[in-house]
Amino acid sequence: MRAAARLQATVEALAAIYATVKPADAVLGNYLRSRRYIGSKDRAEIAANVYGALRHHVRIGWWLQRVGLPEDARTTAFCWALLSGMPIETLLSYCDGGEYSPPTLRGAEKEAYGKLAGRSIEHPDMPEAIKLECPDWAADKLRAHFGDAFVPEMRALQEAAPVDIRINPLKTTRDEVQKRLAAESIKSAPLPHAPEGLRIEGRPNLAATQAFKDGLFEIQDEGSQLLAALVQAKPGEQVVDFCAGAGGKTLAIAGQMKNKGRIIACDVLELRLKRAQERFRRAGVHNIETRVLETERDPWIKRHKEKFDRVLIDAPCTGVGVWRRNPDARWRQLGPGLDTLLPLQQEILQSAARLVKPGGRLVYATCSLLPQENSQQIEKFLSSEIGAQFTPVACGLEGEASLQLTPARHGTDGFFGAVLVRKEKVAA
């Protein structure tokens, strides 16, 4: 594939992303899958260009306005190419009007792009909010939460996330997976905190490896692995993953239980659970049942009151902590807003807590950095009638009351986790 064609493909992929409210990774995946003629190396470069443009979206928009260009998929792709080092002569040569190339640049447009050549992505005149790519709705809350750490945390959220995997202890060991991947020229190193995790060097196509096809590992950020570890499920127990989604944490819990006992993976979206079932089969797990809930107050919950040893709530949230992986979520609302999520999170906590038996463990987790979705939700829950039946348990890496992971401090995505234990009933 010619370089000019890769640039045009970047424009087309960005245009597809801008045209829908679906997450960028899903749209880009569909774009590339529908064009089988694009080779693996070309796919990787196109994806890198697309995510580079998305990760620098606000700063690119500032530059486009400065040189008088409209902000669209084409101008964004060209601007990012120039600001990341492409000479203007190269861009002009790519825009030759060929069948798979961008149209020729002329007149004022050509002159405007010339003003971008040789520039860096940031400029002294840029406001801090532009440099940090932090949307207005979150900036004040994050600044108040992080204080002096606000800028380094926002900078860390701008970086590309590493590739982490969790090995499947039902089938293998971490050392064995390292050896298997090394045999396919993929380098890795043990994660510092997650005992079943490896960090992969570069961005290889892990799904194409035999080790992945054999169910020896799952792609999962270290922070997500640490959240699942808070459940501390034991073989033979009864466990609910209340918002199971794609099933990553469900699989980690199955590993803790050594495939013994019972896990109910719940979600309100049936399609998610169907996709998760394929992951369960590949991993060789057979103690997971799936259940579609109509709402967070589904009648099934009342029928199973106080029946479970462990309940995990991976609550729907703003996803601020995973902006490294989903940079478009900064400036596009891909789901409910904070005002809608806060009462929903509390409703889920109140409902799912009913499933926990006396002495059982309730784990509340989000991929957010906002205290409104995290510690404040726990405080509100504990002040409620059902919350008064629970006791918080310290679960942070350094003895803190809760687990609070951030990209700058821990090198993970941003996650929050709290552990609550239901008090034993006192005999009359």
Residue 23 lies in a domain: yes
Could you tell me if 272 and 214 lie in one domain?
no
The domain tally of the chain equals 3
Same domain, 399 and 282: yes
CA distance 106 to 11: 18
Burial 133-152 (b: 16+ CB within 10 A, else e): bbbeebeebbbebbeeebee
Residues in the chain predicted with pLDDT less than 50, given as ranges, are: none
Is residue 35 assigned to a domain?
A: yes
On whether both 352 and 417 belong to a single domain, the answer is yes
The answer to whether residue 203 is domain-embedded is yes
pLDDT at 97: 85
The Cα 232–Cα 123 span in angstroms is: 48
Here the CATH number for the domain that contains residue 276 is 3.40.50.150
Based on the fold, state whether residues 206 and 241 are members of the same structural domain. no
Cα-only R_g, the chain: 24
- Do the domain assignments include residue 202? yes
Say yes or no: 169 and 278 in one domain.
Answer: no
Q: Are residues 234 and 195 in the same domain?
A: no
- Both 108 and 232 in one domain: the answer is no
In a domain, 141, yes or no: no
Residue 37 in contact with residue 111, Cβ under 8 Å?
Answer: no
In Å, what is the CA distance from 17 to each residue of 203, 272, 329, 334? 22, 21, 12, 12
CB 349 within 8 A of CB 399: no
Quick check: is 76 in a domain?
Answer: yes
Single out the catalytic residue among 95, 134, 367, 395: 367
Check whether residue 117 and residue 246 sit in a common domain: no
Quick check: is 73 in a domain? yes
- Whether residue 88 sits in one domain with residue 11: yes
Provide the pLDDT for residue 427: 66
- Residues 211 and 228 grouped into a single domain: no
Q: Is 396 helix (H, G, I), strand (E, B) or coil?
A: coil
Q: What are the angstrom distances between the C-alpha of 277 and each of 258, 290, 342? A: 18, 8, 29
CB hemisphere CA count around 427 (13 angstroms): 0
Residue numbers of the domain that contains 228: 222-422
Q: What is the pLDDT of residue 335?
A: 84
Q: Is 367 a catalytic residue?
A: yes
- Chain segment 74-118, per-residue pLDDT in tens: 999 999 999 999 999 999 999 988 888 999 988 899 999 999 999
Alpha-helical segments (H) within 194-297: 210-213, 222-229, 248-256, 270-283
Cα angle 338, 148, 52 (rounded to 5 degrees) comes to 60
In this predicted structure, what is the pLDDT of residue 185?
A: 96
Same domain, residue pair 210 and 249: no
Q: Are residues 34 and 90 in the same domain?
A: yes
Report if residue 196 sits inside a domain: yes
Final residue of a structural domain among 178, 194, 219:
219
